[in-house]
Structure 1
Amino acid sequence: ASTTASLITDPTSALLYEKNAQISALQDQVTQLTNKIAALTHTAPTHSNILSSNTHNASNKKQYKLNATSATVTESESKCGKRRQLLEPTRTNIGRNASISTANALRQLQNSNDNLPQIDETSPLAKRILAMFQDPASHTTYLRSTQFAHDILKLCHTIKNLLQNSPRCAFLSSPCYVFGDIHGNLEDLHFFSDNIWRLGMSLTAGNFVFLGDYVDRGRNCLECVAYLLLMKLLLPHKVTLLRGNHETRDVNGWEEHYGERSFIYQARARFGDELGFLVWEESNKVFDRMPLSCVIDQDIFCVHGGIPRSMSIQDVLMVPRVAGINPPYEHESEKAQQVASDCIWSDPASEEQEHSTVNADTGFGESLRGGGAICFGHKAVTDFLQRHNYSYIMRAHEA
């Protein structure tokens, strides 16, 4: 320190050096506090927090009346193939610029402590994908380039560890936006972007939960996967991507059934057989690591298909962090595969099934989908909600 001080003879430089030292000390304090907060928020929930006692009946819990509301949303210009170049805010807030700067700084602090490779909104990869999302029609060259393929591969490589270190059932707090099947429909994501996160997800209050089925059927599977994976990477604590039955190789690799609408066909058609297969396989490695469900406010169970026949959240948490499901890896036990399959494949029973295929004792029966899939009836739903003291189940799997 004495050597450094002796080199600074100019008073202005000395003052600047002192200020920089103070800033550095404050940054160290912020980093320490952030790490402490992260350690607290990432602590795995205890058994008592996850599973409510059977004696704690849902009828004893305070009920909150929900008032039905409706809102008219103007169809975005994206339906006409156009994209807004500039979104005009509907209201002006005092100090908005300062708020945006603060939000950006907090996001960068948060991401820097996740031990992830530095991909943020300013990185070339993020800029390319965000620009593509805003105006895909003017980025057709990029969308068919090896650069786009390599960008997807880099996203997959970067995000795998993030997802693998996450529990198979995430626990979130409201407010939350919950979205159903996407199925390669970029126009749906454009509509949500224009009307729900108009200023961007980072500046929109609340969490974003997607219930799976990101690929197949639609024509823009690659674009949807790239955008959603980027959002998860940029905002790991705001964006939750659950797994659907189409996030399995047996389904999204079923080219004979889905033809040019299948994920594997689109990857090969876009990038060639070898590179396209690599993009498909690496994307599936990401899907293998996606959570199967989440719980909002310890009250709302969110899942792609439905409740597992074991009725246990603990069983969902015990599913391996890397699970192929369809087909399974060798390390997946029969029970773990069954629990995971129930989460992504099951359906609510129809009234006809309630009186024919549903077991009166368990509330479960065989699904019309076949292939070992199940359906769950009124009894299964009631027992599951009461067992965990939940009020609602939110699911997709209908598109």
Structure 2
Amino acid sequence: MAETSDLDRQIEQLRRCELIKEAEVKALCAKAREILVEESNVQRVDSPVTVCGDIHGQFYDLKELFKVGGDVPDTNYLFMGDFVDRGFYSVETFLLLLALKVRYPDRITLIRGNHESRQITQVRYPDRITLIRGNHESRQITQVRYPDRITLIRGNHESRQITQVRYPDRITLIRGNHESRQITQVRYPDRITLIRGNHESRQITQVYGFYDECLRKYGSIAVWRYCTEIFDYLSLSAIIDGKIFCVHGGLSPSIQTLDQIRTIDRKQEVPHDGPMCDLLWSDPEDTTGWGVSPRGAGYLFGSDVVAQFNAANEVDMICRAHQLVMEGYKWHFNETVLTVWSAPNYCYRCGNVAAILELDEHLQKDFTIFEAAPQESRGIPSKKPVADYFL
């Protein structure tokens, strides 16, 4: 009873966007790990359920989401990853979702996004470093002066951005398009489901804000370590009533069946390639077959790939996040793939609305569109993060 009371207090504190103690974060993550380790790579979720896309540390917009969608445990939630990075409140966002997962484990499901990752980069102050283009930033791969110490790899979007800057013992910088963040699963484990997106990665969170935020708010990287350890336990996907497959990014040429996903060892950092990477990084494209992704990770997949996957697994549709959609949601391939985006006015500057998908017990769909929280209800620093669409 005392344990539940402490958890309730922490949830209320986090709802006010107030940090909990470092020791409480450690204990919370330990409890979350006990719950998450029992979940499948393809976590079963029952309807009715509300499905949500990227949040990216926009805490006050997460509060707007709960305002329009209902609070946990009254509403059953599935969050499809990318809880951290870019927004100013990744710590509070992830910890609130994690606390809700622990409190109501059957009411919230969290799956991993590509930002739920630790390993790519330890650039702790990205806003204090500016890279501008010189004559050597051409369209080819460039290795200059110290080939064993620095590697610059350019992708198709690298007229302006660097895909991989590697300084082996000191800095590793990998940049593609933009997807790495952490997740939250604690207080109401049966009412919220979180799945992993490409931002649920240690490397990406070190470039796009979460690492630096933990260091700034707690004075050490201990909280970042506790949270990124949890990333590895997040499910890679979910299946609603056996008919709607939910994943952060998309499909993989290495995966034809859900059973193949179930065999992946997910308790690791997000790899740079392979099926686990693809699930968190891939995108649908108006084409056929497989294509090279401009993100530098994952693949582009066409309508025929989706048709084959859905038929083989007897699912009606794929629901995913990972891509900014100005209208909040977007259908692909004759409504066999759906993108849901749940971070309104992304990076506090994009001007988009957000959406959540509400599924009733018959899997009938109802979209709720919502806008960013009013300016007067939030405390936003004057400097806004740069919106890098492709990560």
On the 8 A contact 1:210/1:240 being kept in 2, the answer is yes
Give a deviation string over 1:237-287, Cα, whole Å, max 9, x none. 111000000001135855354779510000001111xxx311111111100
Deviation at 1:323, TM superposition (A): 2.1
Counterparts of 1:257 and 1:383, CA distance in 2: 42
CA gap 1:304/1:320 in 2 versus in 1, 3 angstroms = same
Report matched runs for 1:196-211 at 5 Å.
Answer: 196-197=69-70, 200-204=71-75, 207-211=76-80
State how far apart, in whole Å, the 1-side matches of 2:62 and 2:281 are. 24
Query: Does the Cα contact within 8 Å between 2:279 and 2:298 map onto a contact in 1?
Result: no
Give the 5 Å matches for 1:1-399. Answer: 119-120=3-4, 122-123=5-6, 125-133=7-15, 135-136=16-17, 139=18, 143=19, 148-197=21-70, 200-204=71-75, 207-250=76-119, 254-255=123-124, 257=126, 262-272=209-219, 276-309=220-253, 310-326=255-271, 338-349=274-285, 351=286, 354=287, 363-370=289-296, 372-399=297-324
Please say if residues 364 and 374 of structure 1, whose CA atoms lie closer than 8 Å, have aligned partners that are also in contact: yes
- Mapped to 2, the partners of 1:236 and 1:269 lie a distance apart of 30
> Which string of whole-angstrom CA distances, capped at 9 and with x for unpartnered residues, describes residues 310-348 of structure 1?
222111111115122247xxxxxxxxx611111101111
Q: Is the 8 A contact 2:42 2:261 kept in 1?
A: yes
**3-state SS of paired residue (1:229):** helix
Partner letter of residue 63 of structure 2? H
Distance in 2 separating the partners of 1:225 and 1:203: 20
Q: 2:140 is matched with which residue?
A: none
Amino acid at match of 1:269: R
Distance 1:263 1:386, change over 3 A: same
The answer as to whether partners of 1:306 and 1:344 remain within 8 angstroms in 2 is yes
User: Which residue identity is paired with 1:237?
Assistant: D
What is the rounded CA distance, in whole Å, between the counterparts of 1:165 and 1:321 in structure 2? 12
Q: Which has the higher strand share?
A: 2
C-alpha distance in structure 1 between counterparts of 2:291 and 2:49, whole Å: 32
Q: 2:280, 2:298 within 8 Å by CA — same for their partners in 1?
A: no
For residue 194 of structure 1, give the secondary structure of its aligned residue in structure 2.
Answer: helix
In 2, Cα distance between equivalents of 1:396 and 1:279: 26
Percent of residue pairs identical? 30
Give the whole-Å Cα distance in 1 for the aligned partners of 2:102 and 2:294. Answer: 37
Change (3 A) 1:252 1:131: farther
> Residue 148 of structure 1: CA displacement?
2.4
AA aligned opposite 1:313: L
Is residue 294–residue 303 contact of structure 1 (8 Å, CA) maintained in 2? yes
Tell me, in whole angstroms, the C-alpha distance in 1 between the residues paired with 2:3 and 2:127: 34
Report the residue type matching 2:295 in the other structure. R
- Give 1 or 2: higher helix fraction: 1
Residue 242 of structure 1 aligns to a residue whose secondary structure is strand
Q: In the aligned structure 1, how far is the partner of 2:228 from the partner of 2:92? A: 15
Alpha-carbon offset, residue 132 of structure 1: 3.4
Cα pair 1:169 1:294 within 8 Å, conserved: yes
Helix, strand or coil at the partner of 1:166? coil
CA distance, structure 1, for counterparts of residue 127 and residue 311 of structure 2: 40
Structure 1: any 5+ residue segments left out of the alignment?
1-107, 109-117, 328-336, 355-359
Q: Report SS of the residue matched to 1:201.
A: coil
Contact 1:165–1:321 at 8 Å: present in 2 too?
no
Cα drift, residue 149 of structure 1: 2.1
The count of residues paired between Structure 1 and Structure 2 equals 245
Of structures 1 and 2, the one with the larger relative CO (CA 8 A, separation 6+) is: 2
Distance 1:237 1:252, change over 3 A: farther
| Counterpart Cα distance in 1 of 2:107 and 2:281 | 26
Distance 1:245 1:252, change over 3 A: farther
Contiguous gaps of at least 5 residues in structure 2: 129-206, 325-391
Deviations along 1:66-109, one digit per CA (max 9) or x if unpaired, are: xxxxxxxxxxxxxxxxxxxxxxxxxxxxxxxxxxxxxxxxxx9x
Q: Which residue of 2 aligns with 1:35?
A: none
